[in-house]
Amino acid sequence: MLVELEKIEKAKEKVGAARTAELTAELLKLEKFDARNFKACCPFHNEDTPSFVLNQKTMKWHCFGCSKNVDLLDVYMHCGMTYMEAVQELFKEAKMEFSFGELGIKTRHEYRYPKVDDCGSKDTIYAYLRQRGFSDKTVDYVGITQDSRGNIVFNYYDTNDVLCMCKYRPSHKIDKSKGESKNWCQPDADTMPLLFNMNKVNASSTLLITEGELDCLAAIESGFTNAVSVPFGSQNFQWIEHNWEWLEQFNSIIICSDNDEPGVKMRKEIVPRLGSWRTRYVEIPHTYHDPNTDRDVIIKDLNEVLYYIGREAVISLISNASDPGVPSIINIS
């Protein structure tokens, strides 16, 4: 289920700046909130002087300190809602009627939907993912669970918030000599080329598409929450056609694949298919000089950027994504 962006923008206008500011202050517990001038201290980084300001034309908050941009839907999602739940809450606040009849409904009758795989604890996967640079908060935000054997379960939801695929990964370093698999899907359940975390993405903001789930987590951990991951590796592109209507909503898309040969091929395949006019790509550095060891460390993906260099480096790479240019156009300069 998709909701036209025009209707969402109309709902934001009906809610109005004053109510938007009031709700944001309440939900994000804004400090030094100025209800008259619609500004406060940014809740996404530490500051003493308010630089988090609501633009009354776009109905988006912008932080002049950390450059964070959020609207009321982002605020709702930050508090735990999915995108469609946030839209539903927005329409309720705007007193606009809209049918959300498909929300939570399994619409594919012959599809073998997976069962929720959750042992009730996340201790093992928390410990492993902390070593990869991820906080427990980020793990919870994307809805990752742990199975009875301590494996990581990446839960793929569609735009109706229905669980459609469970993908697994060991919560330890893989030993290929013992025949261990890097990832697999739930047995006796069908698979669907959805994008991981797509049900928690704001369609009116820039979309980041990564090569793997951990790269998606790296972006979210660093503060860029409008991120998804492809489902079946760098050389499977079924997700483009399957999610085409959803992808068409975005005016701006950033591709972040690994910096190896398959990753470069993935980028070259995706950019023209999604439209070079709206697509940019992240260039992952190949090495990083570690001042603690005085050695160069090989970097492959966004998760390793987070691990070795830090959150600011991840955001900087995304913010400075490269323009692929328009095919057949010559740069006169």
pLDDT digit string, tens, across residues 178-214: 778 889 999 999 999 999 999 999 999 999 999 999 9
pLDDT of 174: 82
Q: CA 209, CA 76: separation in Å to the nearest integer?
A: 22
pLDDT of 71: 95
Provide the percentage of residues in the chain whose pLDDT is more than 90: 88
Kindly tell me if the per-residue pLDDT of 331 is higher than 70. no
Query: What predicted TM-score, i.e. pTM, was given to this entire model?
Result: 0.93
The pLDDT confidence band at residue 173, using thresholds 50, 70 and 90, is: confident
pLDDT of 117: 97
Kindly tell me if the per-residue pLDDT of 177 is higher than 80. no
| Alpha-carbon dihedral sign for residues 163, 168, 202, 111 | negative
Q: Note the pLDDT tens digit of each residue in 297-316.
A: 999 999 999 999 999 999 99
Query: How, if at all, do strands 184-185 and 227-229 pair?
Result: unpaired
The pLDDT confidence band at residue 1, using thresholds 50, 70 and 90, is: confident
Mean pLDDT of the residues in the chain: 94
Q: How much is the average pLDDT of 258-273?
A: 95
pLDDT of 292: 85
Give the chain's end-to-end CA distance (angstroms, integer): 46
Q: Quickly list DSSP for 97-122.
A: ----TTTT----TT--PPPP---S--
Check: CB of residue 145 under 8 Å from CB of residue 167. Answer: no
Check: CB of residue 277 under 8 Å from CB of residue 256. Answer: no
Q: Note the pLDDT tens digit of each residue in 21-37.
A: 999 999 999 999 999 99
Kindly tell me if the per-residue pLDDT of 119 is higher than 60. yes
The pLDDT confidence band at residue 122, using thresholds 50, 70 and 90, is: very high
Tell me which residue has tokens 């492993």: 128
Q: CA 216, CA 17: separation in Å to the nearest integer?
A: 32
pLDDT of 176: 76
Q: φ and ψ at 52, to 5 degrees?
A: -95, 105
Task: Name the region of 173 (left: φ>0; alpha: ψ -120 to 50; beta: rest).
Answer: beta
Q: CA 268, CA 104: separation in Å to the nearest integer?
A: 36
pLDDT of 266: 96
How far are the Cα atoms of 128, 221, 225 from residue 152, in angstroms, in the given order? 9, 17, 20
Q: CA 33, CA 201: separation in Å to the nearest integer?
A: 27
pLDDT of 85: 96
